[in-house]
Structure 1
Amino acid sequence: MTAFDMLSEPIRKYIRDQKWESLRPIQDAAIQKIIPNDTNYVLISRTASGKTEAAFLPILSKVNFKEQGVKVLYISPLIALINDQFMRVEKLCAYLDVPVTKWHGEASKGAKDRLIKAPEGIVLITPESVEAMFVNKPHHIHHLFSTVEYVVIDEIHSFLGSDRGIHLQSLLQRLQKVNKKKFSTVALSATVSDENKYAELKDFLGDPERTKVIRDTTPKPINAVFKYFEGGNSELPVELIEDLYEQTKNSKVLIFPNFRGRVEEVAVKLKRESERKNGHKNYFSHHSSVDKEVREDIEEFAKQDNKSRKFCISCTSTLELGIDIGNVDEVVQIDSTNSIASLIQRVGRSGRREDKASNLFLYATDEWSLVQSLACWQLYQEHYIEPVSVSQKPYDILVHQLLSIVKGTSGITLDKLLHEIKLNKTFTNVTEEETVEVISNLIKINFFEKLGKELIIGIEGEKVVNNKDFYSVFKTETFFKVSHNGNKIGELPLSFQLKEDENIFLAARIWKIVEVDLQSKKIEVIPAKDGKKPVFFGNGGDTTHRIREKMLSILKEKNKIESINENGENVIHDLRKEFSIFDLKDIQSDRPLLLSNSNIRFYSFADSRINRTIRFLLETKGIACHYSELESCFSIKTNEDVNQKKMNREIFKSTIKEISKIPSDLDLALSIAIEKSPGILDFSKWGQFLPIKYQIELLKNRHFDFEGCHEFIRNLNFVENQ
């Protein structure tokens, strides 16, 4: 029996009405596996290969929606993705007369009320909305989701290896506990590493033995071009903007700078260039600080099937995931991504509908960013994706989930609370003794209060759990709403720029701030003719060891790099010449050590966590050093005092070898670091509420990598300039 024949008649009719010539490979495989089995499945296939339908076609054919209750829960990382997928799923479900409901902060209250009165069909939701229901309306969880048969998790790679992923794991465990029978899970992704045979991915779904992976390895041709324009200052080079305009003026294009401020700069400057040269006017910016309605208008504009219409959207990861914006001719990346997974997602946005080759242009404004771009591209061609790093003891998410359970139950005994955590596989590696210590600290800081035999939320805890920010496990900035004549434009974070008469870019336009209301957090603006890119905070993420190793490999090689402009060729030539003074033989262990009269430069080409660890351990030895993340380089002045001696090559080398041994007073050093710089824990929203010993464990396991550093230095061979 063919996959098509296995589908229900209404679904077959849908396919015929859509005039599909055939099922996509991932759809064919998924139908034949999902319909006869109740196994968990992960569907891995490139962007725009039909993964959503691959999940829903068999599920809709299999599930009996005439039975009472919600039958399918679709979980998405983005509200925008829910809104986009809602239309696709609703169109498909219309053939079965199955209702589809959006459930998130911006969704219709009327639709939610109807669902509560008569639970049925499919619900599209974010993890944060599930959490809000557990906290505020726990009876709705039982009422709505105790009959769920399938959970579909979209873009699962965006959850893996993150606090948000651990949070989702816990929520899935809690949902399973209230369910009348065991539900099955279907997860979707375009980018998941198979380095450990998907072990982390299977563990994520809570039942490795019952989880299977279906992967479509059909390659997609990509035309990649590298261009270099020296940056020099905080603004993009004029030459880059001019070249970028000429390259994209007759195309439908997505441009991915790495930061929201840069997104606005690109959109405004390209629009200005187009006006100067009488080009099209369709230049937009799309990121989380642009107003939702403005973003949706941009998505709808791009989606319209008009082959003659050109557009350019400068965006962040808001368009990296699977929101449908129709066919895109080209994708541009400005300065390197920090991960191959992100590069894969972005390049997959072009050549979507017609199965054409993807066109990728990688612009670099820094020589090391160019090398990193080349490294990411070469690893992508080698089919490498970063493996996921999973926290074995997520103490900080435990804090959040303890608060959630106590709030949702309006009081619970310690024994019952410990039992709830013990049943949750997310916290399998956290001992009962450790959980008790965490709870004791929450009592100590008045997050919990003892009332007879029960724990309830304490005075300080009420301030936290009653705040809308409680439902998420990631930190959010304080934003000011920006408006013009009552029309919302977007949001800006609190910064030195928020003052009257300052001109800023936002939503691909230039505005003058005329009023700032600090109390209501509102900004009124009027159009202006010139301004500056807005300041947004945050970092670009960590870079893995394999990328850094590949960067060194590129500098060691002598082969000609294809598809790179003359500026880029010259930069790579000069860097290779600079590094040719080192006789590097083993790319895994040999590392350059550059000695001069004034300083020592050590190029570790190690991942971000190991480099942070090296820097921290050097500082514990009293050695101050300048560290450049992009270059992966430590620079130390030779007049630096070390144990009453001036720094020299032998002292430096022996110190590096010495710090490979994890010091016996490491915990003390880390506790001092936390006391001196509380911001060191900013990577964790809930870590600050842990006992100090567990804050130290968070630093060891998530911020630093002492074991990896030990292994790196143990194998390290310094290669000095000749």
Structure 2
Amino acid sequence: MSSFDELEPVLVHHIVNTLGWSGLRPLQEEAIGPLLAGDDAVLLAPTAGGKTEAACFPLLSRMAKSRWTGTSVLYVCPLKALLNNLLPRLETYASWLGRTAALWHGDTTTGARKRILATRPDVLLTTPESLEAMLVSANVDHQAFFSGLRAVVVDEVHAFAGDDRGWHLLAVLERMQRVVDRPLQRVGLSATVGNPEELLDWLQGSGAGKRPARVVAPHLRAPERPPTGAPAPAPPGDIQLDYVGSLDNAATVVASLHRGEKRLVFCESRRLVEELGEKLRAKGITTFLSHASLSLDERRRAETAFAEARDCVIVSTSTLELGIDVGDLDRVIQIDAPTSVASFLQRLGRTGRRPGTSRNCLFLALDESGLLEAAGLLLQWSRGWVEPVAAPPEPRHIVAQQLLALCLQEHRVGENLWQEWWHGLGPFGSGAEPIVRHLVEEGYLERDGGLLFIGPEAERRFGQRHFMNLTTVFTAPPQFTVLHGRSEIGRTDPSLLTERIDGPRRLLLAGRSWLVTYIDWKRKRCFVEPADGGGKAKWSSAGFGLGTSYEVSRAVREVLLGTDPPVRLTQRAMRSLTEAREHFLERVHPGGTLVVRESDGQMRWWTWAGHRTNATLAATLDDVAVPGQRINDHWLRLREDVTPASWKSRTAGAADRLCLPEVDERAVRGLKFSETLPPRLAEATLSARLAGVESAVTVLAEPVRFVAM
């Protein structure tokens, strides 16, 4: 008997007759057994691989067969837009069994929330932040509402696991398990990652090693990959690397190629999205934009119009990298290089969904650096390498946030019982005692009669708008809302409104220029009217860029040493790679690293080791490296008096005394909830995250050659 037949018969009927499917995809077929058995699982497949159905069909079958009542399944996503996109599908699937699905996130209206609380949908789609807001809200009886909870689906689980939202999600799920007094089946949906078994362990939280669990990834059953460094066959798909030299030239290429097709262009910043969008519109191309600083209505209009159009372009940041549906795409175009191989796989998976089409991506490099980064990334991808997903180390600030949120949820928590809420989950155990003491000493928590409860300092810092700021674990830089009449266009960086200029002040937003007519400083709003051109776009970064990984940086070195990625290279790309190889001829060597005395007298150590590695090496070799230098991916600046002899003596045994990178005070202030930690613990948290210890040991073990230019 096929696993398909194990599903609820009514569900099978609709899959065959309503959806018109003759059967299931391999992932969907293989997920049925473990999910029906109640096992935890991570389901891996490329973008558009049917992961949502692979999780939902077995869980809906369990719901029907076991007669689950109330809200029994949570479907958690990292993006509100992804939840909005998924709701109609999940409502349809649930309705086949007489069940319901509903959506609860930051944009859900008060009326809709009241209906959800009154009717308790069988499937609730939400974000971790909204889930915690429900736990701490005085308007939600979370004990009653979640009493029937049995399973949690975490979509795009790799996107959570790699940052602090992942720790936040795990901690909230542990609290949820204590509320319902039963283990929750955890099902993660993910694109291809380099370490699926570790990702599954992470998702299980306190249940790792205690509950049955399985990675389901039929697409990974493939012939053995060639060893690292061996020539790799060209991977499937039409991948092309071109060098265009400027954003103007990129706009010309995008406008002239693939007319009559739907093209999705990815940029690595909101500013580039805006500037490219404006240039394409000036060339008469039907262009839509999508990024996080555009208003919800603006993004929805763009995504809907793009999904319905044919000959058009949508320019986006990573907001369209995840599974948001914008219809059938013909082409993906990448400006410079994405931040990771995993990100590239997500974007590549946007194409080739229709029968008879193949996956494709055209890289357009704007400069030499972009060309080399793209070539290195494609070389690593061609070998089947994908970054392992690793949770950020030492999330002490999230521990502090969770302690405060728990006290808000329960009102009073026993000073010796708080650990039980996280069931021994890593950083939330006894090692958090110093954080509790600090929270009490600083007034964030109060202690009385053996109980902990919210203190005046927590009320002062987080109490506004019912502690809403306490449930969000990421920091967004301050932005001004931009309004045309009553219509919100999006948000912009306040520095664009304060910098000295000659003449009218113009903004570039939603791919159009706007004249600023009035600024409401108190309410952080600015009003605009359409302008003919001259607008500027700018946004401050919310985080701290960690540059290229060790693996991709080393692949860049291989490219400079003569290895081409097995993709189509245009004549312009080949010519520019030849020039780059000539430029870096004396700065790369296959047998180790080089210390080069440049023509201006500066000493540079060309490690080709990535940002984290170089930051760790700079901190460890502080008597050799120039202090206070800005760390980059490829080299470190050394003191000009370094000689081969002094280098040997100063680096001897360095691998045994590695130091974590120093942390800028501004970086500590940018860590959400850092004020709830003792300063030394906040600094230690960031230092651990900036470090590349293993790769630093590797670099220190390599031969070093001294070269004079």
TM-score, normalization by structure 2: 0.90
**By how many angstroms is 1:683 displaced?**
5.9
Q: How far apart, CA to CA, are the structure 2 residues paired with 1:480 and 1:349?
A: 33
Q: Which of 216, 219, 232 lines up with 2:218 in the alignment?
A: 216
Residue 227 of structure 1: aligned partner: 242
Offset at 1:707? 5.7
State whether structure 2 residue 618 is matched by structure 1 residue 623.
no
Q: Matched residues in 2 for 1:542 and 1:549: separation?
A: 13
Query: More deviation in 358-367 or 449-458?
Result: 449-458
Question: For residues 377 and 582 of structure 1, what CA distance do their matches in structure 2 show?
Answer: 22
Q: 1:505 to 1:249 in 2, by over 3 A?
A: farther
Shift of the 38–721 alpha-carbon distance from structure 1 to 2, 3 Å rule, reads farther
- When structure 1 is superposed on structure 2, of 711-720 and 208-217 the one drifting more is 711-720
Note if contact 1:70-1:122 (Cα within 8 Å) is conserved in structure 2.
Answer: yes
Q: Please give the alpha-carbon distance, in whole angstroms, between the structure 1 residues aligned to 2:107 and 2:89.
A: 19
Query: 2:477 is aligned with what amino acid?
Result: E
CA distance change for structure 1 residues 624 and 583 in 2, over 3 Å: closer, same or farther? Answer: closer
Instruction: Work out whether residues 286 and 318 of structure 1, in 8 Å CA contact, stay in contact via their aligned partners in 2.
Output: yes
1:667-701: CA deviations, max 9, x gaps? 9xx8xx55xx4113256312342123422431342
1:92-107 matched pairs, under 5 angstroms = 92-107=93-108
Any gaps of 5 or more consecutive residues in structure 1?
275-279, 639-645
Counterpart contact for 2:393–2:689, Cα < 8 Å: no
* 2:298 counterpart letter in structure 1: V
The residue aligned with 1:701 is 688
Residues 172-231 of structure 1, C-alpha deviations (whole Å, 9 max, x = no match) = 11111122432211110113213xx62243233223342200003179932111111234
Partner residue in 2 for 1:718: 705
Q: Give distance in 2, aligned partners of 1:696 and 1:688.
A: 11
Contact kept in structure 2, 1:449 and 1:457, CA below 8 Å: yes
Deviation at 1:593, TM superposition (A): 2.5
> Per-residue displacement from partner, 1:614-664 (whole Å, max 9, x unpaired)?
23345566724755625x1223473xxxxxxx445554565455754527x
Between the two proteins, the alignment pairs up a number of residues equal to 682
CA contact (8 A) 1:93 1:99 kept: yes
Contact 2:446–2:452, Cα closer than 8 Å, also in 1? yes
Distance 2:124 2:354 in 1: 27
C-alpha displacement of 1:324:
0.8
| Distance verdict in 2 for CA 1:378–1:583, change over 3 Å | closer
Superposed counterparts of 1:253-264, under 5 Å: 253-264=263-274
Match of 2:442 in 1: 445
What is residue 535 of structure 1 aligned with on the other side?
Answer: 538
Task: String of CA shifts for 1:419-440, please: whole Å, max 9, x gaps.
Answer: 435x241436x5x2x4221111
How far did residue 574 of structure 1 move?
2.0
State the TM-score, normalized to the length of structure 1: 0.88
**Alpha-carbon distance, 1:87 to partner:** 0.9
Partner of 1:47: 47
One-letter identity of the residue aligned with 2:561: K
Cα distance change on mapping 1:492 and 1:121 into 2, 3 Å: same
SS at match of 2:482: strand
Q: Which residue does 2:262 correspond to in 1?
A: 252
Q: Deviations over 1:572-619 (max 9, x none)?
A: 112223444468344xxx113222351222211113211122233455
Counterpart secondary structure, 2:394 = coil
Quick one: distance in 2 between partners of 1:296 and 1:541? Answer: 31
Contact 1:174-1:424 at 8 Å conserved across structures:
no
Instruction: Indicate the SS of the match to 2:257.
Output: helix
The residue that corresponds to 1:642 in the other structure is: none
Q: Which residue of 1 aligns with 2:461?
A: 464
In structure 2, C-alpha distance between the alignment counterparts of 1:130 and 1:80, rounded to whole Å:
16
Match of 2:198 in 1: 199
1:476 counterpart = 2:476: yes
Residues 684, 657 of structure 1: CA spacing in aligned structure 2 closer, same or farther, 3 A cutoff?
A: farther
For structure 1, which segment, 378-387 or 706-715, has the greater mean C-alpha deviation from structure 2 after superposition? 706-715
Mapped to 2, the partners of 1:583 and 1:158 lie a distance apart of 34
Aligned CA distance change for structure 1 residues 619 and 251 (closer, same or farther; 3 Å): farther
Residue 137 and residue 130 in structure 1: after superposition, are their counterparts in 2 closer, same or farther (change >3 A)?
farther
* SS of residue paired to 1:606: coil
* Cα pair 1:251 1:310 within 8 Å, conserved: yes
After TM superposition, the structure 1 = structure 2 runs for residues 201-350 of structure 1, keeping only pairs within 5 Å, are 201-206=200-205, 207-209=207-209, 210-217=212-219, 221-231=236-246, 236=247, 238-274=248-284, 280=285, 282-304=286-308, 309-350=310-351
Partner of 2:477, secondary structure, is: coil
Work out whether residues 101 and 111 of structure 1, in 8 Å CA contact, stay in contact via their aligned partners in 2.
Answer: no
- The answer on whether the counterparts of 1:222 and 1:358 sit within 8 Å (CA) in structure 2 is yes
Alignment correspondent of 1:277: none
- Contact kept, 8 Å, 2:561 with 2:588, in 1: the verdict is no
The equivalent residue for 2:352 is 351
CA apart distance, 1:266: 0.8
CA distance in 2, matches of 1:313, 1:153: 28
Aligned position for 2:229: none
The answer to whether the 8 Å contact 2:46/2:349 transfers is yes
Within 2, Cα distance between the matches of 1:63 and 1:291? 37
- Structure 2 counterpart of 1:526, from 521, 526, 529: 529
Alignment of 1:385-424 (within 5 A): 385-391=386-392, 393-421=394-422, 423-424=423-424
What's the CA shift for 1:452? 4.2
Equivalent residue, structure 2, for 1:643: none
Cα RMSD, aligned residues only: 2.6
Identity %: 27
Which amino acid is 2:239 matched to?
A
Q: Superposed, which structure 2 residues align to 1:500-515 within 5 Å?
A: 501-515=504-518
Residues 557 and 621 from structure 1, CA distance in 2 versus in 1: closer, same or farther, beyond 3 angstroms? closer
The partner residue of 2:582 within 559, 577, 583 is 577
Is contact 2:481-2:490 (8 Å) kept? yes
Aligned mates of 2:564, 2:421 — CA distance in 1: 59
- 1:533–1:254 distance in 2 versus 1, CA, 3 Å: farther
Whole-Å Cα distance in 1 between the matches of residues 535 and 652 of structure 2?
A: 46
Alignment correspondent of 2:559: 554
2:657 paired residue number: 662
**Separation in structure 2 between the aligned mates of residue 501 and residue 581 of structure 1, nearest angstrom:** 49
Report the CA distance shift for 1:634/1:260 in structure 2 as closer, same or farther (over 3 A): same
Please report how far the alpha carbon of residue 331 of structure 1 lies from its aligned counterpart in structure 2 after TM superposition: 0.7
> What SS class does the counterpart of residue 589 from structure 2 fall into?
coil
SS where residue 298 of structure 1 aligns? helix
